[in-house]
Amino acid sequence: MSPMTDRLTADCSRCAGLCCVALPFAASADFAVDKAAGTPCHHLQPDCRCGIHAGLREAGYPGCTVYDCFGAGQQVVQVTFGGRDWRANPELADSMFAVFPVVRVLHELLFYLEEARAHPAAAPLSDALEAAFAETDRLAAGTPEELAALDVEAHRRSVADLLGRVSDLARAGGRGPDHRGARLLGARLRGSDLRRASFRGALLVGADLRGADLRGADLLGADLRGADLAGADLREALFLTAAQVAAARGDTSTRLPPTLARPGHWAAARAPRRRHPARR
């Protein structure tokens, strides 16, 4: 694992349960109860670890299992606040909770920029990508005051435009359908040829993508909650994250990029239905 990959990988042992306190959630299929922002989840232990981590899905908290801070938690605690946490220093709580979502956005952008920099097709944009990466990294290392004052959405839009240009270059050899921002909830796309398609920001909640060919597809920001990826081919998919994969359903026949692990809750490959001989 490279130093940058390590930085962008969540390490709860070096955090202070920030995602379990700073963020709100509403009772739904993803969370068993309501929780206000800035209020600790009632499952958060004194050591800032989750008391039901091993059984989150069974306890009604699948939303927690698919959340990824991209290492923002340990960045805020260990770097932004110099190792201090909100429990031992309650006067820092409001500031810490306010900057955590900002750093999380910046770290997610670093994750995408790191992938973009390594893509062979992005060579014509190498200077712009290096500059964007350096600026995003600089912003993430800011003081609490600088982070609180940052217009992080403006920076996100600027980086997103650059990543869009990378996507265009990577998919130039015969682009697939354009479904950017499309509402494809429950869409029947089983077995579809979706190579080099754009699903940037698309809602694919509950979509049937079994056996679909998504090689080279742009999945940046696509909502894959409950999407069925059994047998789908996502090799070389662009900007696909572990959280997106974990939010979907798949099996051992789903083909993923080599950088992503198969979620433990995915099922074994489904055997094809046996055809019964016609009765005479």
* Predicted local distance difference test score (pLDDT) of residue 272: 55
Q: Mean pLDDT in the chain?
A: 93
Architecture label for domain 176-270: 3 Solenoid (2.160)
Contact 100, 42 (CB under 8 A): no
CB 179 within 8 A of CB 199: yes
279 pLDDT above the threshold of 60: no
Domain residue ranges in the chain: 3-170, 176-270
Torsion of CA 54, 93, 104, 2, to 10 degrees: -70
What is the DSSP annotation of 66-112? T---TTHHHIIIIIITTT--TTT-GGGHHHHHHHHHHHHHHHHHHHH
Instruction: Give the tens place of pLDDT for each residue, 9-30.
Output: 999 999 999 999 999 999 998 9
Output b/e per residue, 89-103; b: 16+ Cβ within 10 A.
eeebbebbbebbbbb
pLDDT in tens, 59-70: 999 999 999 999
pLDDT tens-digit readout, 207-218: 999 999 999 999
pLDDT at 278 exceeding the cut of 80? no
